[in-house]
Amino acid sequence: MENTMYLPALLIATGQLSDAYLRYCAFRWQIPNETAHKLMRCLLLWSLACVPLYFLGLCLYGLTTAAYKSLLMLGWIPYLAISMCLLRHRIHQHIYVFGISAIWSFMQHNWSSIAVALFLSSASTQTVLLVHAGLYVVWFAVLFPWERRIFARILPYPKIFAELPLKNILAFFPLILLAPPLLMLADGELWHSWEERLSRLYLPLVFFLCYRYGISVARDFHGFARGKRKAGLLREELASLKNEAKSRERESVLLESLRGNILQDYRELETLVETGRRQEAMALVERKEKELHSSILRKFSDAPMVNAAISLYMDKAAAAGIRFRQKVNLPRHLAVAESDLAVLISNLLENALTACSRERGEGREISLTIQHEGKKCVLSIVNPCARPLRLGEDGLPVAERPGHGTGMISLKLFQKKYRGYAAFAQKDGLVRLLMYWRDEPPC
pLDDT above 80 for 17? yes
pTM, rounded to two decimals: 0.50
Beta-sheet strand order (sheet of 376-384): 323-328, 365-373, 376-384, 430-438, 421-427
As a dihedral over the C-alpha atoms of residue 27, residue 32, residue 38, residue 39, rounded to 10 degrees, the angle is: -10
Beta bridge partners of 377: 372, 437
| Average pLDDT for 59-84 | 88
Range picked from 144-153, 195-204, 261-270 for highest mean pLDDT? 144-153
Query: Tens digits of per-residue pLDDT, 19-63?
Result: 999 999 888 877 888 888 899 999 999 999 999 999 998 888 888
Q: Where are the domains of the chain?
A: 2-200, 299-443
How wide is the angle at C-alpha 284 spanned by C-alphas 278 and 287, nearest 5°? 140
3-class secondary structure, 276: coil
CATH topology of domain 299-443: Heat Shock Protein 90 (3.30.565)
How wide is the angle at C-alpha 379 spanned by C-alphas 375 and 383, nearest 5°? 175
Alpha-carbon gap, residue 121 to 129, rounded angstroms: 12
pLDDT above 60 for 85? yes
Neighbours of 398 (CB within 10 A): 13
Helix (H) or strand (E) holding 433: strand 430-438
